[in-house]
Structure 1
Amino acid sequence: MELLLETVALFCMKLAHETEDSSPILRDDLLMSDYEREVFGLLVRRGDVEGIQAKVHECAGLALTALGGVGTVMGRELHRLAEEFSAVSTMEQLYAPLTALKGYLKNIQ
C-alpha cells in the first residue's frame, strides 16, 4: 500500500512541477519528502485513513491545478477519482480507488 501511495504522489508531483526542459522528478527528490514511502508507511501502520486521504488530497490538488481545475475534461476526471478515494472509510476500501487514481495519473503523464 505504501508504494502505491507514493506512486500516486509522485505522478501528481510530476504533473504539477515537471517541465519538458527540466530534470524528471524522482522518488528521492526533496519535493517528495512529505510524500515518501516511510511517511505513508507510518500512516498505514496507524490505520490512519483520514491522514492518508489528506496526504493524497494535497498532492492531487496540485495535479488538479496543473490540469486547469475541474473546468477541464482531465481535471473533472481526476477530481472524480480523488473524490471516490476520499469517500472510503476503511483501510481495506482504499486499494481500489487508489489503484484507479494511479492508473489515471499514469495515463495522463
Structure 2
Amino acid sequence: MELHLETVALFSLKLAYESEDSSPILRDDLVMGDYQRDVFELLVRRGDVETIKLKVDECMGLALNAIGGVDTVLGRELQGLSADFSTAQTIAQLDTPLIALRDYLKAIQ
C-alpha cells in the first residue's frame, strides 16, 4: 500500500508542478519529502487513516487544480475517485480506491 500512496502523490505532483521545459519530478525530489514511501509506511503501521487521507487529499487538490478543476471532465472523474477514497474508514478499505486513483492519475499524465 505504501508504494501505491507514494505513486499517487508522485503523479499528482507531476501534474501540478512538472512542465515540458523542466526536469521530471522523481521520487527523491524535495517536493516529495512529505509523501515518500517511508512516511506512508509509518502512517500505515500506525493505522493513521485520517492523516493518510489528509495527505492524499492535499495531492488531489493540487492535481485537480492542474487539470482545470471540477468543471472539466477529467476533474469530475478525479473528484469522484477522490471521494471514494475519502469514505474509507480503515486501512484495508483504502486499497481499492487508492489503486483506482493511481491508475487514473497514471492515465492522464
What is the RMSD of the two structures over their aligned residues, measured on CA atoms? 0.5
Number of aligned positions between the proteins: 109
Indicate the percent of aligned positions where both proteins have the same amino acid.
68
2:51 aligned partner: 51
User: How high is the TM-score relative to the length of structure 1?
Assistant: 0.99
Matched residue, 2:80: 80
Aligned counterparts of 1:26 and 1:19: Cα–Cα separation in 2: 13
Distance 2:47 2:11 in 1: 23
Secondary structure of 1:76 counterpart: helix
Q: Where in structure 2 are there 5+ consecutive unaligned residues?
A: none
Matched residues in 1 for 2:60 and 2:88: separation?
Answer: 16
Report the counterpart of residue 96 of structure 1 in structure 2.
96
Superposition misfits of 4+ residues, deviation over 4 angstroms: none
Secondary structure, counterpart of 1:19 in structure 2: coil
Q: Tell me the CA shift for residue 101 of structure 1.
A: 0.3
Matches within 5 A, 1:1-109: 1-109=1-109
* Deviation of the 1:38 alpha carbon: 1.0
TM-score by length of 2: 0.99
